[in-house]
Chains A and B, each alone.
Chain A
Amino acid sequence: MTKKQIDQLALASYTGNSLNRRKVEKLTSLMLRKDLKMYIRALKNWERKHSIEIIIPDDKYKKDLSLTTIRQIFPKKEIKYSTDPTLVTGIRIVAEDMAYDFNLKDTLEDIVEHIRAQYD
């Protein structure tokens, strides 16, 4: 099977915005190992393109998030949440391969890099 065919199958595995389990089981039972690897990769790519990851320091910050604003910036994307306490405060949004950092951890790292670049 070509890559294009695999990509089309991956797209067809979705009903609406969610993965259809029955379709996936039927397709995977018919695939060779090599094609299966490409199919899984295509599904992962699709997931990445159609979702954004919001990383917050703690679950309690979820209520502070303005979901309306986020949906306006990233329409038609599924929102996934994860926590990373090292952010201290702020937020990190990962959309496809771009990361948008609005957190204290990143600012502190930038300060360190800035000082290192200035002084011997």
Chain B
Amino acid sequence: MTYTGVNERADTMKKELTILICDDSVLIRKKLRGALEELGYADIHEAHDGEQAVAISLERHPQIVFMDIVMPVKTGIEALREIIAALPETKVVMASSVGTQSNLKEAIKAGAYDFIQKPLSQDAIARVMEKASAGGGA
């Protein structure tokens, strides 16, 4: 396979990945979507609270979920537990401003794949996507 061929295959894989962004802030959803599209991902869904995130996950079976923690209706940690219980293969990346010890411990215990501290940088998003799409374990 030529070098170009390898790139093409990587691009096709990117396009096939289903990603869910869950954040109650329309600004964060917009910025995160923009960052992921720039990285070449196209199948991106959005949820604005934990409950909607669980519902969309059960319907779409995303490979990767970006999950805020502090949200109305259902918190990100509660949604994480429910998604992992139903879809244990899903990689849920917690993306929150509240990276406290207790949130980190709870997220890890509930099966989170990774934790990104807000503000989100394009670098941090690219790194976690590279790791997650390469099939790396948590």
A pairs with B: no
Q: Enumerate chain A interface residues (CB-CB to B < 8 A).
A: none
